[in-house]
Structure 1
Amino acid sequence: MRFLTGGYTAEMDGEATGIGMLLAGAADDRLAGGSLGFAGDAVRTGGSPSWIAAHPALDVVYAALEGDGAVQAFTRTGEASFARLGAPVPAGELACHVAVSPDGASLVASCWGDGQVVRMALDAAGRPSSPQTAVAAVDPYAGFGVDDRTSHAHQTRFLRSGRIVTCDMGFDLLRFWRAGARGLEAAEELVLPMGTGPRHLQSHPSGHLYVITELSREVFVLAEGPSGAWRVISGVPLSADPTTAGDTAAELAVSRDGQFLYAGLRGSNTISTLRVRGDGSSLDLVAQVDSGVDWPRHHVVARDTLLVAGQHSNEVASLTLDERTGVPGRARQRTAVPSPTCLLPVA
């Protein structure tokens, strides 16, 4: 299998020199449990392409150039090569995430530095343009002794209902949007407990949303009510070990059958496995195992394998998933990858 790797380049003290190409087994393998190998850059670029997302229909990918505060499109030119498609489009300070709409007509960039959420139109070739910045977030806890907090938008997810949800890690806030002619129109806000730091979301086949909190190291379960309003219905900590109190949570991934969630913890460098219970409304902590890397920034499920990007150890490791218990085993394969921050499967 092929995976693109995002990473930090020199201006953000990283060692990457562009978007890389990772092989897990042979390029045309359907499974990712084979030997890992880094094939070098699929395209050289600065600006720290820390997050990569694919167009749903075109051979085009988009990078959040975190160091440049911009979004850049790349078109495929070969089995393992890409080239710039148009010019970078400014988004905001430390643009760290980009999500493409299911119809391929637009994308949304999230900016950690200034909290901006920016929608861009995509043309028939996949080039982004016409950035429209959504209304700025307001801290729901302002006036409670925390007036100096800063908005930090961190992720966007398109929902089956057609709405869009964004995480604001700085304001402990989830914001729901409708896509309108003038950009994103605010529809709803959901306030999480102060200091939790919502980082990323995952949709579940049950219809529930799961949000991982970077600072409090939890996963909250969200449900949509009859009126369309979202609410928190349960939550679970990612560790029972008190020595992980200084950890920060990173990525959240769903198993192929939807029965388990995998959460990365940076500091203890572990992966927590959560079992999805019943109709998806509750979670149980099953296990916490070694991730096999230093600073597990991102991970993806590829059938029976979990691939983990170790930002500080400059490597990617593969862990076999026990499909009965859901728990990852020890790292079986690993390869050097410079400052990896994101893994994206590509055909």
Structure 2
Amino acid sequence: MTRFWVGGYGDDMEGDAEGIGFLSVDDGAGPSSLRYRGTAAAVASPSWLVRHPTLDVVYAALEGEGAVQAFARSGETALRPLGPAVDAGRYVCHLAVSRDGRMLIASCYGDGRVIRYGLGDDGAIVPGGPDKAAALRAALFGEPDVRDTLDSHPAKDPYPTPFGEQPRVSHAHAATFLPDGRIATTDLGFDLVRIWRPSGAGLAPDHEVVLPRGTGPRHMVLHPSGHLHVVTEYSCEVFTLASARDGRWGLVSATTASPIARVGFDFPAELAVSRDGGTLYTALRGSSTISALRVKGGGESVEPFALADSGVDWPRHHLVHEGVLLVAGQRSSTISAIDLDERTGAPREERHTTPAPTPTAILPAR
């Protein structure tokens, strides 16, 4: 049996989920056996989930509460809290864990904050961050702890505000760890991809990549080639970034997420990559479709080549698993399994759908 944890929206985010859910597939029966099995851990609106790289620990962004919390496996279908919830920023919507399992990055849509937390040997979130000396100074002398270190580095809008318009608002949305240990984050409100470097117990800004105004960079995927692909929520595009010899990232190509994507209606959500790295998949929420994009050359460009129905309403998140695409439908409260063509990687027909309360994220369990 293959197992998945499911994030979702609860009462405080106008959803029906009662916590982190549990999803399973019987390996012998395939996608037709996809079933939502119930609640694994009762918690309010765990809208994003990420796994520790080596431990059986899951981290949840509690979006409505503005907090993050760690959970450890306590059975085949259950999780238990691994310490209390820790304060984050307003509408924390995404989490990323470093490859060494020592650092957790939270992105907060509501106030634009990007927050670094330390992780202990057991995977628990360490109050005050990974630098215990800094944590002790914070406790004894009132110095700012690691969660406050980025407040002095808020994002700034690179574009002037047109006359008569209100200033734009920062919306941090996602983070990914780069091969050299730096961190890339998206700011959907200011059209930025920000590059950070770990510094002491916090993070320090390294540089920024400014995308065209009004594009709205949302989620990213680091391609095996080393390129960073970024999907934009507002302009329905996929931008590809590359690192130069001096370590600075820059834009190398851009393409539409789909030739028929409608700006102001479709609002792309997640971006996922196939196992062989040859195909990207993004979801267009307005039309509830899945667009497939071929990765070209050495990963420096992509182009859309197929479009299919997602089998759900408002596809918020998806992932590739064993030749199918699992898609979380936020508004339909369902999760679908979409067949992928073995030769081309194109999404095909819906294989199966299971009810699931207001799902927003799907995470493979160990």
1:53 aligns to 2:50 (yes or no): yes
Shift of 1:283: 1.0
Cα distance, 1:246 vs structure 2: 1.6
Deviation of 1:67 (Å): 0.4
Counterpart for residue 318 of structure 2: 299
State how far apart, in whole Å, the 1-side matches of 2:229 and 2:261 are: 23
Q: In the aligned structure 2, how far is the partner of 1:242 from the partner of 1:262? A: 14
Which residue of the partner structure matches residue 311 of structure 1?
330
Contact kept? 1:24, 1:35, Cα under 8 Å: yes
| Aligned residue number for residue 265 of structure 1 | 284
Q: Determine if contact 2:234/2:263 at 8 Å carries over to the other structure.
A: no
- Write the distance in 2 (CA, Å) between the matches of 1:70 and 1:8: 14
Distance 1:205 1:143 in 2: 38
For residue 289 of structure 1, what is the amino acid of its counterpart?
A
| Residues 62-101 of structure 1 aligned to structure 2 (within 5 Å) | 62-101=59-98
Paired residue for 2:168, among 127, 149, 152? 149
In the alignment, is the contact (CA less than 8 A) between 1:132 and 1:182 conserved in 2? no
| Structure-2 residue corresponding to 1:13 | 14
Contact 1:309 1:317 in 2 (8 A): yes
- Corresponding position of 2:134: none
Residues 1-347 of structure 1: pairs in structure 2 closer than 5 A: 1-26=2-27, 33-46=31-44, 48-128=45-125, 129-130=127-128, 131-133=146-148, 134=150, 135-145=153-163, 148-241=167-260, 246-347=265-366
Q: Which amino acid aligns with 1:9?
A: G
After superposition, what is the alpha-carbon deviation per residue over 1:304-342, rounded to whole angstroms, capped at 9, x for unaligned?
A: 110000000000000111121111111111100000000
Alpha-carbon distance change, 271 to 248 in structure 1, aligned in 2, over 3 angstroms: same
Displacement of 1:147 in angstroms is 5.3
Structure 1 portions without partners, runs of 5+: none
Please list every run of 5 or more consecutive structure 2 residues that lacks an aligned counterpart in the other structure: 129-145
Query: Residues 83-116 of structure 1, C-alpha deviation per residue, up to 9 Å, x if partnerless?
Result: 1111111011000111111111110100000000
Q: Is the 8 A contact 1:32 1:302 kept in 2?
A: no
1:44 partner amino acid: A
Q: CA deviation at 1:243?
A: 5.1
Amino acid at match of 1:49: P
- Contact in 1 for aligned 2:234/2:264 (Cα 8 Å): no
Letter in 1 for 2:41: V
Contact persistence 1:168–1:198 (CA under 8 A): yes
Residues in 1 aligned to 2:60 and 2:97: alpha-carbon distance in whole angstroms: 11
Question: Which AA in structure 1 matches 2:147?
Answer: Q
Give me the whole-angstrom Cα distance separating, in 1, the residues matched to 2:307 and 2:157: 33
Cα deviation for residue 25 of structure 1 reads 2.2
Contact 1:61 1:75 in 2 (8 A): yes
Shift of 1:182: 3.4
SS of structure 1 residue aligned to 2:12: helix
| Higher mean displacement: 326-335 or 233-242 | 233-242
Per-residue deviation, residues 179-236 of structure 1 (Å, max 9, x unmatched): 1113011101010000000001100111111000000000011111111111111111
What is the alpha-carbon distance in structure 1 between the residues aligned to residue 177 and residue 32 of structure 2? 32
Name the % identity: 51
RMSD (CA atoms): 1.4
Offset, 1:143: 4.2
Aligned partners of 1:79 and 1:161: how far apart in 2?
A: 36
Indicate how the Cα distance of structure 1 residues 282 and 310 shifts in structure 2: closer, same or farther if over 3 A, else same.
same
SS at match of 1:33: helix
Query: Would the aligned equivalents of 1:263 and 1:272 in 2 still touch at CA under 8 Å?
Result: yes
Question: Letter of the aligned partner of 2:333 in structure 1?
Answer: N
More strand as a share of residues: 1
Q: Distance in 2 between matches of 1:180 and 1:102?
A: 17
Aligned-partner residue type, residue 318 of structure 1: A
**Normalising by structure 1, what TM-score?**
0.96
Indicate the SS of the match to 1:132: helix
